Amino acid sequence: MQASFSPRQAEILAAARRDGAASISALAAALGVSLETVRRDIRALVDDGHLVKKHGTVHVPDHGREAPFDRRMRENAAEKRRIARHVARLIADGDSIMMDTGTTTSILARELAARRELTIVTNSSDVARTLATVNGNKVFMAGGELHGDNGAAFGRTAIDFAARFRVRHAIISIGAIDARMGPMDYLLEEAEFARTVLSCGDNRILATDHTKFDRSALVKVCDFADFDLLVADRPPPAAIADALGAAGGRFEVAAD
């Protein structure tokens, strides 16, 4: 089974990933709980290898100097490439696309390198760099507060900018998908931007690998009715497939 985090644990993880390290006392104050409560939440995360505890702080495990986004680009990379290739087949020369930031959408951008005269709207500097100035593409990059980890812009400015567009394909990636809550993510600003992306597309696609199934994250992104197609490397569990079907959506499994 995949790891499942409580809302408090998800917020602790998000803080450690965002800032590199987080003070245990500061986490307790921010979450409005006692030190003992937050230590209990942290203990489980440390035992499972998600965090390292040292001198009153917690931080993500040290995998060298590379950024967490770079590490995530290599996690389940083969599955993400299959998903990206599958989604890329749905996109034709001249199409308009809006994408959020994420490892799957970054890999999708690389799969779209052979397409011509695309119009791309994104908050991801990685997606923008990959597709700009080649093959007659036109790229619109949302502005806003830049995140150092993934090089993406967030906030009201980014959301207002994206909301001005109407595109043929709206594509997002997520951190988790739960049969009851639907698609979820760990950071509020990422969930808000992803929700905006879906509202701007005629063909609304959620691209995610199977490790996100039956997981819970901190923030709900949308309902099952808010997207049309789920593309994954494996069929979703029955409860997720049923919820998607009841909302009028469908799923496709990326072929090898």
Output phi, psi for 57, to 5 deg: -130, 165
Q: Which 8-state DSSP code applies to residue 21?
A: E
- Report pLDDT digits (tens) over 232-243: 999 999 999 999
Alpha-carbon distance of 155 to 133, in angstroms, equals: 26
Tell me the domains of the chain and their CATH numbers. Answer: 7-59 (1.10.10.10), 71-253 (3.40.50.1360)
- Phi/psi-derived region of residue 56, left when phi > 0, alpha when psi is between -120 and 50, beta in every other case: left
User: Do 187 and 123 form a contact (C-beta atoms < 8 A)?
Assistant: no
- Report pLDDT digits (tens) over 167-187: 999 999 998 999 999 999 988
Q: Which 8-state DSSP code applies to residue 152?
A: B
User: Do 177 and 201 form a contact (C-beta atoms < 8 A)?
Assistant: no
Residue 149 burial (10 A CB sphere; 0-12, 13-18, 19+): middle
Q: Among 87, 70, 256, 96, which Cα is nearest to 167's?
A: 96
Model confidence, pTM: 0.73
pLDDT at 65: 40
* Dihedral (CA of 162, 222, 188, 65) sign: negative
| pLDDT(230) > 70 | yes
Q: What is the mean pLDDT of residues 150-164?
A: 92
What tokens were used for 212? 């996100």
* Dihedral (CA of 60, 62, 65, 69) sign: negative
138 CB-near residues (< 8 Å, 6+ apart): 117, 118, 119, 120
User: CA triplet 112, 184, 64: central angle to 5 degrees?
Assistant: 70
Residue 64 banded pLDDT, cuts 50, 70, 90: very low
pLDDT at 234: 95
Look up residue 226 and give its amino acid: D
* Dihedral (CA of 7, 12, 16, 18) sign: positive
Q: How high is the mean pLDDT of the chain?
A: 89
User: Do 6 and 13 form a contact (C-beta atoms < 8 A)?
Assistant: no
